[in-house]
């Protein structure tokens, strides 16, 4: 099989123009991950196995956002069918040779390039937060079920979420408000897992330590907490993904499926009923453990990524002195919250001496999505003192070409 050539264009297809709409998101250009249905556009997720399939209707989330005034700019590149974390065929707009992250990497690149103001992606292990972190953007995985998943290609229904990517936090809030109307506490109690922070690479750790120090200097107390260990949640996450892969893709011709999906299918076929039962038990335990942390705090702070953006086509990444598979490395801090369903926001934080910021992940209780965004908005001057005004959303962005 010939490798797919690299591209500088985050879009696979542009949407035909439509009349301008009114609403709270009027004039905002939306970049949609190509695994999400947009009426009249291809809907194959980059897979030859589904080549020629056209979406008959918008995914409900797309329809809801259109109803709020957005214009769909087009469909954006991703790892095939969403199985991956690097979008390997897409060049990074501002860090040549580095990965844009994935699998919603095209949506992040479109925002970074200014070709859309808002990206809509999916997130099963970090696929909105990882590209946001790699591109110095905000990326939100909302609470499980808040944004409807119908019309989006499933990876693992028990872990799948739909989420947003933007350069300005107020725009994420406006998009989130289409689906959620609850507000926030102005003075959040903050918790930090110091052990998780210690496992990050030094450049990431230094940037986040400095941001946390600014919070403390401003009077915030950081409550120490411990998250569920990676072996527990990682095993459960893997079993759920592989079982779902078998259910969703097991009857699809294999020659059009990506290698990571094929491996998941093979592992799924070898699983026993006991494996699934243990995974669900672990998922319940992890969810209860994270819920318990919020009895002492309103927000949980930890890295989004343990490492800076890896090389564009990396398969292995060094983390903490060990070489790890790139998926395991980039989902080290994100995958747990797909298992538990808690809302998690990737926030860019100043990172001296590098072209891109580090990224702090901030997590809130289930259902507290707008509370999360509102609280982070108040913390932004401390987290990134040289960043943009937290009260400005940058105004509407229209497509440089296309628009719908």
Provide the pLDDT for residue 2.
Answer: 46
230-249 and 273-293 helices, crossing angle to 10°: 130
Q: Does 33 participate in catalysis according to the annotation?
A: yes
Above 60 in pLDDT, residue 1? no
| Backbone torsions φ then ψ of 238, nearest 5 degrees | -65, -45
Q: Rounded distance, CA 170 to CA 117, Å? A: 11
| 74, 80 contact by CB (below 8 A) | no
Q: Does 103 participate in catalysis according to the annotation?
A: yes
Q: What is the pTM of this model?
A: 0.94
What is the pLDDT confidence band of residue 184, given thresholds at 50, 70 and 90?
low
What is the pLDDT confidence band of residue 272, given thresholds at 50, 70 and 90?
very high
Report the percentage of the chain scoring pLDDT > 70. 94
Residue 100 three-state SS: coil
What is the pLDDT confidence band of residue 399, given thresholds at 50, 70 and 90?
very low
Q: Residue 125 is encoded by which pair of tokens? A: 């292990």
Please give the average per-residue pLDDT across 296-303, as a whole number: 96
Q: Does 272 participate in catalysis according to the annotation?
A: no
What lies within 8 Å, CB to CB, of 148 at 6+ separation is: 59, 60, 61, 64, 162
Q: Rounded distance, CA 398 to CA 365, Å? A: 34
What is the pLDDT confidence band of residue 398, given thresholds at 50, 70 and 90?
very low
Report the percentage of the chain scoring pLDDT > 90. 84
Could you count the other beta carbons within 10 Å of the beta carbon of residue 402?
A: 19
Report which of 369, 309, 318 is spatially closest to residue 137, judged by C-alpha positions. 309
Above 80 in pLDDT, residue 4? no
Please write the tens of the pLDDT for every residue from 191-216: 999 998 988 999 899 999 999 999 99
Average pLDDT taken over every residue of the chain? 93
Q: Rounded distance, CA 53 to CA 67, Å? A: 25
Please give the average per-residue pLDDT across 2-19, as a whole number: 85
Q: Rounded distance, CA 37 to CA 162, Å? A: 13
Residue 316 three-state SS: strand
| Backbone torsions φ then ψ of 330, nearest 5 degrees | -80, -20
Provide the pLDDT for residue 185.
Answer: 59
| 111, 69 contact by CB (below 8 A) | no
Which one from 99, 104, 127, 359 is the annotated catalytic residue?
127
Q: Rounded distance, CA 127 to CA 331, Å? A: 9
Which one from 103, 104, 143, 359 is the annotated catalytic residue?
103
Please write the tens of the pLDDT for every residue from 311-320: 999 999 999 8
Above 80 in pLDDT, residue 3? no
| 171, 394 contact by CB (below 8 A) | yes
Q: Residue 95 is encoded by which pair of tokens? A: 């860090």
Above 70 in pLDDT, residue 32? yes
Provide the pLDDT for residue 321.
Answer: 87
To which residue do tokens 């908005």 refer? 377
Provide the pLDDT for residue 401.
Answer: 38
Which one from 33, 47, 99, 143 is the annotated catalytic residue?
33
Provide the pLDDT for residue 327.
Answer: 97
Please write the tens of the pLDDT for every residue from 80-138: 999 999 999 999 999 999 999 999 999 999 999 999 999 999 999 999 999 999 999 99
Please write the tens of the pLDDT for every residue from 255-266: 889 999 999 999
| 176, 152 contact by CB (below 8 A) | no
Q: Which residues pair with 330 in a beta bridge?
A: none
What is the pLDDT confidence band of residue 394, given thresholds at 50, 70 and 90?
low
| Higher per-residue confidence, 167 vs 351 | 167
Q: Which domains does the chain carry?
A: 11-227+284-383 (3.90.1300.10), 230-281 (no CATH)
Residue 95 three-state SS: coil
Please write the tens of the pLDDT for every residue from 330-382: 999 999 999 999 999 999 998 776 677 899 999 999 999 999 999 999 999 99
Above 70 in pLDDT, residue 158? yes
Provide the pLDDT for residue 23.
Answer: 95
Above 60 in pLDDT, residue 63? yes
Q: Residue 298 is encoded by which pair of tokens? A: 């309103």
Burial category of 46 from C-beta neighbours within 10 Å (exposed 0-12, middle 13-18, buried 19 and up) = buried
Query: Among 39-53, 159-173, 380-394, which is the least confidently predicted range?
Result: 380-394
């Amino acid at each position: 099989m010939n490798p797919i050539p690299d591209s500088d264009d985050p879009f696979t297809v542009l949407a035909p123009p439509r009349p301008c709409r009114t609403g709270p998101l009027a004039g905002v250009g939306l970049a949609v991950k190509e695994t999400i249905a947009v009426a009249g556009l291809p809907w194959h997720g980059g897979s030859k196995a589904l080549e020629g399939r056209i979406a008959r209707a918008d995914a409900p989330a797309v329809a809801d956002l259109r109803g709020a005034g957005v214009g769909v700019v087009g469909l954006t590149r991703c790892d095939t069918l969403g199985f991956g974390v690097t979008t390997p065929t897409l060049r990074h707009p501002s860090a040549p040779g580095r990965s844009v992250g994935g699998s919603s990497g095209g949506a992040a690149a479109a925002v970074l390039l200014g070709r859309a103001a808002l990206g809509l992606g999916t997130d099963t292990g970090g696929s909105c937060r990882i590209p946001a972190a790699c591109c110095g953007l905000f990326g939100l995985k909302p609470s499980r079920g808040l944004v409807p998943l119908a019309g989006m290609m499933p990876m693992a229904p028990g872990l799948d979420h739909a989420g947003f990517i933007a350069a300005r936090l107020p725009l994420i809030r406006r998009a989130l408000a289409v689906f959620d109307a609850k507000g926030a506490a102005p003075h959040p109690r903050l918790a930090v897992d110091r052990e998780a922070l210690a496992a990050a690479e030094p450049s990431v750790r230094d940037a986040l330590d400095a941001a946390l120090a600014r919070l403390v200097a401003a009077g915030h107390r950081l409550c120490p907490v411990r998250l569920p260990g990676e072996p527990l949640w990682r095993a459960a996450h893997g079993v759920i993904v592989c079982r779902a892969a078998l259910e969703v893709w097991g009857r699809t011709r294999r020659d059009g499926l990506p290698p990571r999906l094929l491996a998941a299918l093979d592992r799924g076929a070898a699983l026993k009923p006991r494996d699934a039962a243990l995974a669900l038990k672990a998922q319940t335990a992890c969810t209860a453990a994270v819920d318990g942390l919020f009895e002492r705090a309103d927000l949980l702070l930890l890295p989004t990524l343990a490492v800076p953006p890896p090389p564009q086509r990396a398969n292995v990444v060094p983390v903490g002195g060990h070489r790890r598979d790139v998926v395991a490395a980039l989902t080290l801090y994100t995958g747990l919250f797909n298992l538990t369903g808690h809302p998690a926001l990737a926030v860019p934080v100043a990172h001296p001496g590098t072209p891109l910021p580090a990224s702090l992940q901030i997590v809130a209780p289930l259902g507290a999505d707008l509370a999360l965004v509102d609280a982070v908005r108040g913390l932004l001057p401390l987290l990134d003192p040289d960043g943009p005004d937290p009260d400005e959303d940058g105004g509407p962005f229209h497509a440089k070409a296309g628009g719908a």
